[in-house]
Structure 1
Amino acid sequence: MSVQLRPPADDDLLAVGDLHYRSRVSAYAGIVSPAALKFGSPAALGEWWSERWRWERDTHRLTVAVAGDVLAGFTYLGPSEEDGIAELSAIHADPAFVGKGVGRALMLDALPALARIGSRAVLWVLEDNGRARRFYERGGWVADGVTRIEPIGSEPVRQIRYSRPV
């Protein structure tokens, strides 16, 4: 499958929100309660991404993957809260494109951008998301022992931090 990676156009951001919503529902099913997964809406996430991008576009990088005229995935990265550390804040593939190389293409594209921010990069993953953890581990990411509890909707969910040199 061929995907094109590019910076977002302003009219991509609502589609990014829609894809983020669908990706979250698909990836977290069985990990997070259905009620928590219904938190927000595709339109609300689109507005959230539009607003976030408006404020962070000078310090962060959003990349979209398109297959033909379909948004297949996206990454979002920037500086971590820790000085000199880069953070991959989001990597999502449309559920129809999971397992078809979109995530891998996005990750390979993100690594050099992360290296321009710091010598080490981090990301957070749900502890019980085995599929995502295997994906990151195949890409050289390692759980570094740091954990946190963050809500999805109103449900607290345990996350593990992964890191790697870049």
Structure 2
Amino acid sequence: MADASVRTAQPDDVAEIARIHRDTWRTAYRDILPAEVLDSLDVAETAPAWADAVARGQVLVAAEGRWTVGFCVAGPAPEDEVANADGSLPADASTTALVSVLVEPRWGRRGHGGRLLATAAGHLREAGATRGVAWVPEADRSSIDFYAKAEWEADGTVRTLDAGGRPVREIRMTGGLSLLLTP
């Protein structure tokens, strides 16, 4: 494998992050989300939200050689993302982070996702976070397996989103932030 790295995203990464988001969802979720939802993903429309996350320092990018191949967005989790099914908050709600890792499928299985998650975990620990959560479509076995390899597990909390008139059930994965990079 060529030189692989993870770094904090910069403003000039926003267009590529938005493109990776669009292209990866169109590939990875084509059997999960309706075509019209995937077709409506527009880089120009999502770029401002990515620019905001990048400006807050919440996005890491993975590179292989000169190519940006994936990203991770991670930061403090809003209360509604960590709430228990009954709406109550767990004792560690204020130290729980919300994490999302996305690597283009053509660059998958090369360690980029693990590097992104481990690097994000380190940054989150330094900021005082004690655990992370990630929402994953229940039908996305690749992402569920990815988080499981990091010793994250489904915590029994589910939500159903409306994706263009089609319900999409998501499960919440959760785990510790003591992840280490290993060769």
Contact residue 34 and residue 163 of structure 2 kept, 8 A: no
Q: Deviations over 1:5-58 (max 9, x none)?
A: 11122111011000011111111121112122112213322233124434xx0x
User: Would you say how many aligned residue pairs link Structure 1 and Structure 2?
Assistant: 161
Q: Alpha-carbon deviation of 1:153?
A: 5.1
Show the counterpart of 2:146. Answer: 135
Separation of aligned partners in 1, 2:70 and 2:63: 7
- Aligned identity (percent) is 27
Shift of 1:154: 5.4
The alignment status of 1:77 with 2:112, answered yes or no, reads: no
Indicate if the aligned counterparts of 1:64 and 1:71 stay in contact, CA closer than 8 A: yes
Partner residue of 2:111 out of 101, 104, 108:
101
Q: Which runs of 5+ in 1 are unaligned?
A: none
Q: Which amino acid in 1 is paired with 2:67?
A: V
Asked if residue 161 in structure 1 is aligned to residue 162 in structure 2, the reply is no
Shift of residue 114 of structure 1?
2.7
Distance in structure 2 (CA, Å) of the matches to 1:28 and 1:84: 30
Shift of the alpha carbon at 1:152?
4.1
RMSD of aligned Cα (Å): 1.8
Residues 158 and 171 in structure 2, CA contact (< 8 A), matched pair in contact too = yes
The answer as to whether partners of 1:23 and 1:95 remain within 8 angstroms in 2 is yes
1:135 alignment partner, SS class: helix
1:145 aligns with 2:145: no
- Indicate the residue corresponding to 2:88 in structure 1: none
Distance in 1 (CA, whole Å) between partners of 2:58 and 2:120 is 9
Rounded to whole Å, the distance in 2 between the matches of 1:48 and 1:155 is: 24
**What whole-Å deviation, never above 9, does each CA across 1:106-128 have from its counterpart, x for those lacking one?**
11212212323321211110011
